[in-house]
Structures are given as C-alpha cells and as structure tokens.
Chain A
Amino acid sequence: MFRVCRSFLQDIQTSLKLIRRNNKQIRLEKAKSMSNDPTSPSHVDLEDGVLYGLLKQVKHKSLLQESQPELTTVWCCNIEPKQTKSLLVFIRSFLIPFDNLPLSHVKRFNKKELTTPEGTSTVLQAILCSKEYLDTKEELQNLFHEHTYDNNSDLSEISIYETQIPVRPPPTKELAVEWSQKYWPLSWKGNPNHQYLKSVKFNIQREKSMIGQLLKTSKENGGLPVTIIARESESTSDDHEILAIGTDNRKQHPLQHSTMQAIAKVADSELKRRNNLAENENSNYIQQGKEENNYLCHNLLVYSTHEPCVMCAMALVHSRIGRIIYMKNMQNGSLESNYQLGDMDGLNWKFDIWRWIGEEDLKILAELDAVPSEQEI
C-alpha cells in the first residue's frame, strides 16, 4: 500500500482515502479456533464468511494465504527506558494526530538487550511515524528541536532511522509470532477478518429487496443480466435509493453489458441534471472538481445478477464503487472466478465483494437465466 500511495502522489487526498480504505478492508484467513466465538452475533458465520445465510464474502485468494506481509516504512528511534514518558507525550501531541498510519496491530516499543563488553543494557526502540507523513529525517529532527528543548529529558539528540513494518495485521496467531520476530513486535487481537465480519453492517431487508428487484427486472427482460446501482438511503425506508438499472444490450452493441449500461445511466442522468441546473440559474453554475466529475459512483452500492466480466469489473474499479453483491458466478467472471478485480493490489481502488447465496433466489435466477455459462457478462 505504501508503494501504491507513493506513486499516486498527484492527488494526496485520494491517497489518504486509499490508506483508510485499505485499513478498513482487512481480509484474512479464517482461524479455526475462533469459529465458536461467543461474542459473534448470531447472523455471522465466521468460518465460512457468511452473513444471514445469504451473503458470502468474496476475498482475494492470494490474501487468504498471505505469508509475506506487505510492508511500509516508518521512522524509528532508540531511547533509554527513562525517556519513555516524554517521548510518548511528544508522539501523542505532534505525530499521532496527523499520521494516518494504522498502528493498532503494531506495538509502539521494542525492547532490545544490547550486549557490550561492559555488560548488557536495555534499549527501547520506538516507532515515531510513517515515512508517508514525514518525508525526511530532517523534518522529524526539527520537530524534536522545536518541542523538546526545554524539557528535562532531552530528546533532541536521539538518533532517528527507518525500519519496515507489516501494513496489515497478521491473519493467524502463528504468523503474528513469525512476523514479530522478523519485522517488529505485533499484537494479536484475534483474526482481523472475524473482527470485520462481526462489525460489517447490512440492512438485510433492503438487500433482499434489491435482489428481488434484480430478479424482477431480469424476468421482464427475458432473463437477461441486470445490474443496479443504488445509494444507501438515510431514511427508514425498506429500500436503498435506486439510481440506475442497467440491462444487457449486447444485441445492439457488443459492449453494452448490464454493468456498463448502469454506469452510463448514472452519468447521463447527472449530466442532464446539471444541464438543467445550468439553464435555470446559469450564472450560479459552477464547474465541479474532478472528484465530482469522474467519480459519480464513488462508494455506491452495486447489485448484479451475474459475476461481471473483466471489462465490467474494471469499469466498477474506475468508477470507484463501494460494494457489489452479485448472484451467479460465471466461468469468465472476474471477481471470484478469475483475477479478483475489485480486490486486487496495485489498482488504485478496491471495493467489497459479496455473493448472494439465498437458495430460493438462485433457483429463480437459474430458471430465468438466458445466458450460457461461458458468456462474458
């Protein structure tokens, strides 16, 4: 992730979002010992990653066996134990509030025994902040000079150096031990994906209703694939706010798959809205920034009868959607069956992927379904 952000310098804002997003989307291996977690809400099946018996979490297969952690560079220093308190005060006041580095799985201090001819002494290594936040050692040194000079335990002379730590929490207890020895002491707080599964929120009535909408639209269109783009509605209504319904139109155009159609509809209606706005109050119309222009689907919810093809899944990445729930896996699908787009490292966007496993709904879809299994949807 560090590398991703570095090369994405031109929009720091976006980079920061990305960091937060990646932190949020912790996805890791299932820990067998945790499957009978008493703190788990009744609708959560930690073992299989299933919620309400209806939604199956789809994760990147390579991440399920993450044995090599993705690393990020941080600034470190060595202090004597007696300096601990003033260093902590410094870190809490001048670094933590501004640094976006997720450190909940990383211990701040590392105790080291140094053996010299005179005997052994204890040195504390401490993580200061990410290199992402402060680019150079000088900036950090200046901060120390500015804020600790009148303090009894002088911190202005400590030596600062860089080290690498894992970006994400270790998926298993065993890896937590291994990585702690190899990189930096990490804390084990249980399987992070389990934490995620327990905390992720669905309004399952609304999700059921959206699946119903997919099936209804597909039925009206002779069993063709359907994609819906919606916004989480703030009200207490039983439904999400539907922004666009796309149906497969490849009879007319080979690339007008349901997902492409839905994305285009969102853009078209916004374009119309803005044009009307411009006509009605022409002087007040202000050109929107890039964020508002290119990313209309930013964090929106997507529903699809079928697993989208490479083109469509990448279109969802480009559109920066927040989450997709789809029903049927396809031979040439690219969320779970191939590539795992939407959850692929290196692209500049990831979204949450869930597969609907409600048996009755799938049965209805199978009866409707008019597309061959190797078709790109």
Chain B
Amino acid sequence: MDLTEHFQRVGLSLFVAFKALSINETPVACILVSKKSSKVISIGYNDTNRSLNGTRHAEFIAIDYILDNVEDTFPVDDLILYVTVEPCIMCASALKQVGIQCVVYGCGNDRFGGNGTVLSLHENNYGIIPGILRTEAIQLLRNFYIQENESAPDPKIKKNKELENKLYPEMDYGKYMNESEFIKIYGLERLNSTYINKKEITPVIGKGYRVSDLVSLDDVMGMPGLENMYSRDKKCSGPMTREAVAQDLDSFYRMFYAVDDEGDVTFGTHIKIIGSENKIEFIKEGSDRDTNEVKEPIENGVEKKRRKLSNEGHLH
C-alpha cells in the first residue's frame, strides 16, 4: 500500500509546524484537504501564545479559516485533516462536530490525545491514520523545548551513542487499532515490521525516505494562508517571497534524520550540502566530514532526561 500522498500532506503540515517555531508558537500544525478536489483548503498552527487563548489549537485555526474564507457552513463532508500530532480531546471532539472524514496524524499525544491515546472520540465518527512522519513531529517538539529552555548550558551538538537506537519512543499501534484495522489502512506487509516490530512506517514498503523527498517548494507555496505566518515572522524570514520560503525549506529539511529501507531512523547520518543548488546528501557516521556539514538535531542532557520520562510532550 502506497502511503506517499499521506506523507506528503503531513509533510506540509510539518513545514507549517516548523514555521510556527519561528513565531514562538508550539510546533503543532495541520492542513485540511478536500477529498474531491485533492486541494489544500486551509492550514492551521498553534496560536495560543499570540491570542492568549489556550484553546487556539491548530485544528481550530484551520476550521475557522474555512468558515471565514471558503465555505459558509459546516459540516463540509469531504475534509481530511493532516496534523503533526494526534488531536487533543478538545480538538478531537471539535472535529467530530464539524464532520471531518478522516484524521491522519504523526505522533501520539501522550497526555491529551483524543484519537486513541487518552480517549477515542473518533470511534463511530471518523477514521484515523496515525504514525505518518511520527519521529519528525517529535523532533520539532523537542526543538521547541530546547528553544524554550535556552538556559540549557551548551546547545552544541552532542552525540549520545547510548540513545541512538531508542531516540524516539516507540509507537504502540495496538493502542490505536486492532490487527485487521491496521492491515486495512497500512497493508498486510507492514504488520510485521510496524505493528509487531515497531519499525517506522515509510511511504513505500521497503523503501526509506527523507523529508526533502516529500515536501516541495511548489507545494509549500500553494498552501493558502501561509502568508499570514510570514507576516508575523518579523525577525526571521520577513514577507513570503519564493526565496524566503526556499530558504526556510532548506533549514526545515535539515532538522530531520533520514529513515532507511528497514524503517529505522538513521541517527548516525549527518547531512552535507552539495554545491549551490542545496542538494542534500546523507553521509554515514565515520566517513569524511565536510565543511558544509550541518547541525544535526540537537541533543543535550535536559532533553535526554525529559525524554526518559515523557513521550512526545503535553503541549497540544
């Protein structure tokens, strides 16, 4: 079963979440896609800090955008939500009330998840497809914690061998669905690798991926409402020009590790940029380091301790 389209769409949400980091919001974001037209109808990102309203989660922003700009009424019955983190209980209930058809999400929401982790509000209401770009969603949240924790003494890259294979907490799909439901969504071929052996899902079975393969500049530029984020981002990129977005996209790609054909995150890989076209190549640990080498996802003691204790965080 080819899941590439799901990956590309959660990938777009992931970029929006990445952008939320630069306007000081929690990096959780979503897009709403129309089933019929396959078009992105709206985007949403956590807006609690700007609005001073702890309920302004990404899902609400995306829904409000539709009512303000696209449709007169809800429920619009052909919408699929692609979101980086499992919707919280509040949002999961809201999604039911507006008649969302399906929710595709990245990582689970340990503390508040309303689509399988704490409550299962989608049951008998809408479908869920968890685990798409799961580790990448966690990675963004970690970067946010670090950003928030600027007191962390030395934010330099530190390799921690002992953590390499367990860097992201595993996802237990059994908590979200039974085997036959899993097979229906992801295909029988993934049952062993992912449902049982907890390997990461890749877009195509047996083939690894990099975020840079999934999210293109044109697709990002095509998202409605993204310019609002750019107008809020005074200190980083400024107004939304193609160049500014390309530049952001470049830093965005570099935040994540590649996932290999077996569904393992390649923690040992670092990224090298070749030439001026920003072509990216992944190099295994131990081979020559290039001067253009880019920072790997930051790892430090604070983070390590926190991860030991909690999963993806409580932020959504």
Chain A residues proximal to chain B, CB less than 8 Å: 6-10, 253-255, 260, 263-264, 266-268, 270-271, 274, 290, 293-297, 309-312, 314-315, 317-320, 339, 341, 346-348, 376
Contact = CB atoms under 8 A, between A and B. Distances in A.
Contacts of B89: 310, 314, 317, 341
Given A312-B90, A318-B90, 14 more contacts: A10-B148, A255-B60, A255-B94, A255-B97, A271-B51, A290-B49, A294-B49, A295-B54, A310-B92, A314-B90, A315-B54, A317-B89, A318-B54, A347-B118
Given A7-B309, A8-B310, A311 B93 contact: yes
Contact of B97 (A9, A346, A348, A376): A376
B67 A347 contact: no
Contacts, number: 102
29 contacts: A6-B310, A7-B111, A7-B309, A8-B314, A9-B306, A10-B149, A10-B306, A254-B74, A254-B75, A255-B60, A264-B53, A271-B52, A293-B49, A294-B52, A296-B52, A309-B93, A310-B90, A310-B92, A310-B93, A310-B121, A311-B94, A312-B90, A314-B89, A318-B55, A319-B55, A347-B118, A348-B314, A376-B93, A376-B97
A342 to B, nearest CB: 11
Interface of B: 48-49, 51-55, 60, 63-64, 67, 74-75, 88-94, 97-98, 110-112, 114, 118-119, 121, 145, 148-149, 305-306, 309-311, 314
Contacts of B305: 9
Q: Which 6 A-B pairs have the closest CB atoms?
A: A314-B90, A267-B53, A310-B93, A7-B310, A311-B93, A314-B89
B46 to A, nearest CB: 10
Nearest to A315: B55
A243 to B, nearest CB: 13
Contacts of B92: 310
A319 B90 CA distance: 11
A321 B235 CA distance: 34
Contacts of A309: 93, 97
B119 A263 contact: no
Q: Indicate the member of A263, A317, A318, A319 with the most B CB atoms within 10 Å.
A: A318
A332 to B, nearest CB: 10
Contact of A311 (B97, B112, B306, B310): B97
A255 B66 CA distance: 13
Contacts of A297: 54
Contacts of A320: 54
Nearest to A5: B309
A215 B68 CA distance: 31
Contacts of A7: 110-111, 309-311, 314
Nearest to B59: A255
Q: Indicate the member of A311, A312, A315, A376 with the most B CB atoms within 10 Å.
A: A311
